Amino acid sequence: MRRGRELLTVKGVEAAIAKVIKTGERAELSDGGGLVLRCPPSGAARWTYAYRSRAAGGMRRVTLGAYGDEPPALSLSAARKARATEEARNANGEDPHVAHAQERSLHAQAALMFGTLCDRYIEHVKGRGKLSWKTDEGYLKRPKAKFGRRAVGSITKRELMDFLEGLAPTSKASANRTQSTLRTMWGWAAERDYVPMNFLAGVKKVGGKEAEKNRVLTMDELKAFFAALDDNEAKTSDPIRRALKLILLTAQRPGEVAGMMLSELHDLDGPEPHWIIPAVRTKNKLAEHTVPLSPTAVRLIGEALEAGKDETDGKNDQAVFASKFDNVATLARHSLSQAVRRVLADMDGEVKLAAFTPHDLRRTAATLVQAARLPVDFVKALLNHHDKGVTGVYARWHMFEEKSEAVKAIEKAVARLMM
């Protein structure tokens, strides 16, 4: 026995733990050489090793494991062997604290399933208030079905790229959106040590450059679509019907309309009704965006608020377009896209519409403003397109009158379709 080491005995350790449990006073038992058994009142004693790090300098400490006779717990003799292992690591310039952290990370990666990672990520973005969390959830469905029962640490970059490349021939856009969602999730996971690194960062989109979106609906198409949308047999809720109409009437982004709150609406009964979208809910996140509301828009908002007031009594705020799910306050952006696809699929008669998305209603609204021969600056102001030049940095005037003219032009063109 070397001097100052192996100071403890099994009998002494057992007696000390029993005393701690009886008195409720924690104790630390030193075996020398940095090996210490920490004994809390609960009796769940744990071995630690204190050392001077050759790699990092200064004193550090690592936990070796719980005290006990059955692995993975460590008996006195097993704890001494673990101390010898850590001493050798330190002597070779490998910091035991760093090595233990890496081992814990690898163990977590081996234990965490890909499906569980997806669920945790969706809960995270929902908790952060991301309006498009449902869209992220949708894009994760196929990779979750493919890799859901695999440990995240076992999934390689090549496997994910092969999977994404398999999606591209069917839909470049879907492959690119899935890749983008996976890349963001992998980065989030790397920050939390669920995966060692985000190997999808900087990877080119597997779908390549997508065709520029330029779908604009004609007046005949708008008439046919809204007639089908308002049909009593259409499998679409009233909040979704009104939200889709508001996208066209206001020319705002679908996610912004879906997330509209009562607290964002002002002067609905006055001469200048308007909607102020908080900066955090705008795409550029730079400043709040003021949207004048036409009479038809005010009517639809009023109907939505009236329909949902019974469920919001006593609350400080109210979602204008409430979700049918109890745990979600506002409509999911994804619900609008699903509704459009459903209505188009069920349409019959002389008019058969080509596929379009809720965002195409926004583009159609902008086109209607241009067709009314209003200046392009009116359109840019209403769409909240950010001017990245020096003028855009200093010119914060919200152009309320100009945007009012724009929404009036839209209403004049389509109000009769929304009776």
pLDDT tens digits, 57-109: 889 998 888 999 888 889 999 999 999 999 998 999 888 888 777 666 666 56
Residue 88 is predicted with a pLDDT of: 92
Token pair 């709040």 is found at 288
The span from the CA of 224 to the CA of 246, in Å, is: 17
Alpha-carbon span 231 to 313, nearest angstrom: 30
Tokens at residue 147, please?
A: 């890799």
Topology alike, domains 112-191 and 219-418? no
Give the pLDDT score at 325: 57
Q: Which CATH number fits domain 219-418: 1.10.443.10, 3.30.1200.10, 1.10.3470.10, 1.10.10.1800?
A: 1.10.443.10
Q: List, for residues 122-137, the tens digit of each pLDDT value.
A: 999 888 877 678 889 9
Give the pLDDT score at 190.
87
Cross-strand pairs, 30: 36
Q: Which residues of the chain have pLDDT under 50?
A: 1-2, 326-327, 390, 393-396
Give the span between the Cα atoms of 83 and 151, in whole angstroms.
Answer: 31
Domain 112-191 has CATH 1.10.150: yes
How far is it, in rounded angstroms, from Cα 65 to Cα 61? 12
Average pLDDT along the chain: 87
| pLDDT per position as a tens digit, 149-190 | 998 888 999 999 999 999 988 888 889 999 999 999 999 998
Distance CA 353, CA 211 (A): 20
**Per-residue confidence (pLDDT) for residue 172, from 0 to 100:** 86
- Threshold 0.75, pTM exceeds: no
The full set of domain ranges for the chain reads 10-95, 112-191, 219-418
The answer to whether the CB of 324 falls within 8 A of the CB of 245 is no
The three state secondary structure string of 229-243 is HCCCCCCCCHHHHHH
Angle at the Cα of 232 from the Cα atoms of 343 and 335, rounded to 5 degrees: 40
Superfamily of domain 10-95: Integrase, DNA-binding domain (3.30.160.390)
What residues contact residue 155 under an 8 Å CB cut-off, 6+ apart?
A: 114, 147
Q: How much is the pLDDT for 149?
A: 92
289 forms beta bridges with 277
- Return the pLDDT at 130: 75
pLDDT of residue 323: 74
Cα–Cα distance, 144 to 122 (Å, whole number): 12
Which amino acid, one-letter code, is at 237? Answer: S
Q: Which residues pair with 276 in a beta bridge?
A: 290
